[in-house]
Chains A and B, each alone.
Chain A
């Protein structure tokens, strides 16, 4: 495993980031997670989250430890990462209406309040922020990004895992990585 870069799995919440973390873990990439957020109906195989990423802007001390590992970071927090490291970002992309439906189901199950604006407005806001993120990351020399379509991964895990493997420098155990994709977890279809 090349220890010189940090693998980031990112995207909108409910876009398949946990699935990508499972793929990387199965493929032999060390994962940075604290398992504080326990698995549940929304993520029956676990969330693969790491609490310190939420405080990166104030305390990036966890970042050196992430070299040679994969960590899940929502797109909004990636801009808090310090310069001086190489980051390879696997960015998950899924149909916006499926993302919003899945987020809504998760909020309802947890009894928590999300945005009070309608789905159309929220979709536009997310899309604008994603465009801003893409504009920002294209200007960063220490970041490279590979966009992975969630549906393509569900339907063609072998070829998509090969793309991921090339992007990361041929470090994955391909057979194990591709075998982890579970189409039964493809819910909230539209």
Chain B
């Protein structure tokens, strides 16, 4: 697991926000935020065809 240093005040604000939003842990909140930003930066459609192929084979989509 990697560690990242952030400003203490930002950490406190984010921790409170995560608790108020109902995240089960602060780590879950941070992971979610980073994933959300990466989705926008990287684009999210690559590989969807592979997933569709798997789901179709299993009979869950048409």
Q: Which residues of A line the B interface, CB within 8 A?
A: 13-14, 37, 54-55, 74, 76-77, 103, 106-107, 110, 112-117, 121-122, 124-126, 128-129, 131-132, 134-135, 138
Contact = CB atoms under 8 A, between A and B. Distances in A.
Interface in B32-62: 32, 35-36, 39, 44, 47-48, 50-51, 53-55, 57-62
A129 to B, nearest CB: 6
Contacts of A112: 57-59
A138 B59 CA distance: 27
User: Taking chain B's interface residues, is the majority helix, strand, or loop, or is none over half, making it mixed?
Assistant: helix
A66 B33 CA distance: 33
Contact of B39 (A14, A74, A116, A132): A132
Interface residues of B, number: 19
Interface of B: 21, 32, 35-36, 39, 44, 47-48, 50-51, 53-55, 57-62
Contact of A131 (B21, B39, B54): B39
